[in-house]
Amino acid sequence: MHMISHGQDMVAFSCCVFDGGKQEREDMIAARERGWKGKFTKPGRVIRPGAIRINGKCPLTPLEVNVCLKL
């Protein structure tokens, strides 16, 4: 995962997906547990990364930042 424009803890807390595959998913789960033990694994909690991104609540990826700066 690229950490140029945002920190791993911020990305982990956002519950967003950045197309990093299985390894990224495992890293983000581990980061969430390190920083916020149990908050994201409570019974009944449903995390929908696609909906979070569509609602504009994900940090921008380095590519997205680049596109914004070129506008």
pLDDT in tens, 22-68: 888 888 888 888 888 888 888 888 888 888 888 888 888 778 888 98
Q: Is residue 64 part of a domain?
A: yes
Band of pLDDT at residue 2, cut at 50, 70 and 90: very low
Q: Is residue 53 part of a domain?
A: yes
Q: Is residue 1 part of a domain?
A: no
- The domain in which residue 63 lies consists of 8-70
Q: Is residue 18 part of a domain?
A: yes
Count up the domains in the chain and report the number.
1
pLDDT at 53: 84
62, 5 Cβ separation under 8 angstroms: yes
Q: For residue 5, is pLDDT > 80?
A: no
pLDDT at 3: 45
Q: Is residue 2 part of a domain?
A: no
pLDDT at 1: 45
